[in-house]
Amino acid sequence: MNGIVNVLKPTGMTSHDVISRLRKITSIKKIGHAGTLDPYASGVLPVCIGKATRLSDYLMGYDKAYVFELKLGLMTDTYDIYGKTITENTDLQPIEHDTVAAVIRSFQGESWQIPPIYSALKVEGKKLYEYARQDTGVDSKQRRINIRQIELIEYNFPLLRIKAVVTKGTYIRSLCHDIGQALGTNAVMTVLVRIASKNLNIEDSFTLEQIDDMFRLNDFSFLLGYDKVLDLESIYLDDDSIGKLMNGIRIPVVKEKNYPEYFYIRNLESMILGIGEVIDSQHVKFKKLLI
């Protein structure tokens, strides 16, 4: 069984918990997710099964869309509602809607962001939350991010509901914190739902219970083909060329053809055999074999 599953991760489970559950359902060990969600977050979790695990790096690079809620006037050590309270402004006065909306729009575009100390990001081989739990100081370096779209969709002071499309590595908890600071106060994330990861939308996702029921009925329609999720151009090769590539022999490029950085290699029956790349501007080889 090889393919990608659009899993609807529930609140309260870690991404690893989801993988463990799927391994029990399918009896397949080679399963991995492509983009961690925090335990208290829910929504789209791309999961790769079998040979599809070789595509996880590509899938994690996609933009992701979120709907999230933040609460103004509160600061915690984790930047979300579940952390230890550091300070709370109980006298915070309502901020005008137009001011809030304008500040939120100002975050659109490229910027630098400091990841929250309670995160799985590694520094010198150790996760940031491990440093935090040991009360050990560590320099959490800022990262370049791009918030492609962001808008205020609901405002009920002190709660804001926001929709955003962001690039890989963007921490929504840090974004909530930064929005609070820009509004002259503090803020923590209270709700986080990933509504899309590239071609995977929450409307088309499957719960673990649904996947379990379908698997028992030998219904594998929850399993998506590579090209349903990973957008790449394709080149089609005859059996002789494919045989050479399978044996590690590079084949010459077609000089009249413009090759993308990566592409699907298919046989003449349109079956995807792997991902190819061009080497030394003259030869094609497999980068990832998917059969």
Active site residues: 38
Let me know: does 152 contact 168? Beta carbons within 8 Å: no
* Residue 158, preceding peptide bond in cis (omega within 30° of 0): yes
Which helix (H) or strand (E) segment holds residue 104: the answer is helix 97-105
Neighbours of 185 (CB within 10 A): 18
Chain CA centroid to CA 33, Å: 9
Chain CA centroid to CA 130, Å: 22
Q: How far apart are CA 110 and CA 18, in angstroms?
A: 32
DSSP for residue 10: P
Q: How far apart are CA 4 and CA 286, in angstroms?
A: 21
